[in-house]
Amino acid sequence: MTRRQLPHDTPSRSFRAVAYLPVLAPEMATPRSPSRAPARARPRPVPSLVQLRRPEVRFRFLDALWIQVTGTHCNIACRHCFISCGPKADQIPMMSTGQVEEALEEGRSLGMRQVYFTGGEPFLHPQLPHMVRAALRLAPLTIVTNGLLVDAAAVRMILEESQRTRYSLDLRLSLDGTTQEENDRVRGRGTFEKVLETLRRLGRAGLSPVVAVVEHEGVVRAESRERFRQLVRELGIDRPRVQFLPLFRMGREMRRTHGYHDLGLLASAPLLSEVESRLPCATGRAVTSQGVYTCPMLVEHGSARVGERLAGSLHPIRLNWDTCQTCMLDGMNGGN
């Protein structure tokens, strides 16, 4: 199969075979209990004459506390999902309300700025309204959703909870094309029309979610921003908000684009401070039912588990995962 050219492909380099040493401390590299944190098989380091340590990232501030409320449970199975979420995906269980409240409380004591509820699909969680209220007592909240379950009752809940607090309650809603063909190719048949209906519903309620677009195939942020903004406007949202996200070649996406072929960037230690400080692992952590992870992208990787609780998880980490290259490129390009 021919590898597809994607927006985040880097120019090939002559030193592409640079490998790395797995340099995680034992407690970081191995989950406490294999049964609690099933690790995906990691690719073996490529043998090389020169073995370099991957760049280190110092943790700065808890700007983003990601809480994976529904684990890998999702009502759809996007082909480009960087985890492997889906209706039958139970490798990471849902979090209990107690676990979420505990994470929030710990985040509060550590100076969190912003909470994100993610999954899977957060609106599958039966206790979501309760958890939303708990989060908004402490901090602004963004719910990362595919939008398919945001029905009239959900919109009412968002409006009510939003009015109850001085903090922003935001939705980040996925849409990966401005046509059915472009979107449904990766998100599944019928999702385009359903998401458009959700956007119309939100628009009628005076809400404006962030429309999150993954750069896949022909979707390139520099060229696509205006057509997405235009579509959102046409759906009745007069203050369109569009955010582009890079494509992470991991999780289910691995089946399409087969991971990373050139890891040259990850050999370029040390990182520029401006790039390092923008990496998600410098300013955030992801909490799941199975512990705390470096970032929301790596929650399926046991090796990325950095602790049982937030407080013990804010140490420096090394960019030991191939997908870290995508964040580095995004940081170098200024993000969004």
* Residue ranges that bind another protein, judged by CB under 8 A: 61, 108-109, 111-114, 138-140, 162, 166-170, 206-208, 221-222, 225, 239, 241, 243, 274, 278, 334-336
Nearer to another protein, 28 or 62 (CB): 62
Nearer to another protein, 124 or 169 (CB): 169
Nearer to another protein, 76 or 271 (CB): 271
Least separation in angstroms between CB 214 and another protein? 16
Q: Which amino acid is at 197?
A: E
Nearer to another protein, 181 or 238 (CB): 238
Least separation in angstroms between CB 277 and another protein? 8
Least separation in angstroms between CB 47 and another protein? 38
DSSP line for 82-96:
SS--BTT--SSPPPP
- Beta 305-307 vs 291-293: how paired, if at all? antiparallel
Nearer to another protein, 83 or 207 (CB): 207
Nearer to another protein, 24 or 138 (CB): 138
Which residue carries 């410098």 as its tokens? 282
User: How many degrees, rounded to 5, is the angle at CA 239 between CA 233 and CA 245?
Assistant: 85
Least separation in angstroms between CB 140 and another protein? 5
Extract the tokens encoding 75. Answer: 């009502």
Query: Which of 136, 74, 93, 33 shows the shortest CA–CA distance to 299?
Result: 93
Exposure string (b/e) for 149-177, b if CB count within 10 Å is 16 or more? bbeeebbebbeebbeebebebbbbbbbbb
Least separation in angstroms between CB 18 and another protein? 28
Query: Which of 140, 153, 136, 145 shows the shortest CA–CA distance to 201?
Result: 153
Please report the sign of the dihedral spanned by the C-alpha atoms of residue 202, residue 214, residue 136, residue 77.
positive
Cα separation, 49 vs 71, whole angstroms? 40
Nearer to another protein, 173 or 299 (CB): 173
Which residue carries 């960087």 as its tokens? 82
Nearer to another protein, 97 or 162 (CB): 162
Cα separation, 333 vs 47, whole angstroms? 30
**How big is the chain, counted in residues?**
336
Cα separation, 86 vs 92, whole angstroms? 11
Least separation in angstroms between CB 72 and another protein? 27
Least separation in angstroms between CB 316 and another protein? 18
Least separation in angstroms between CB 150 and another protein? 15
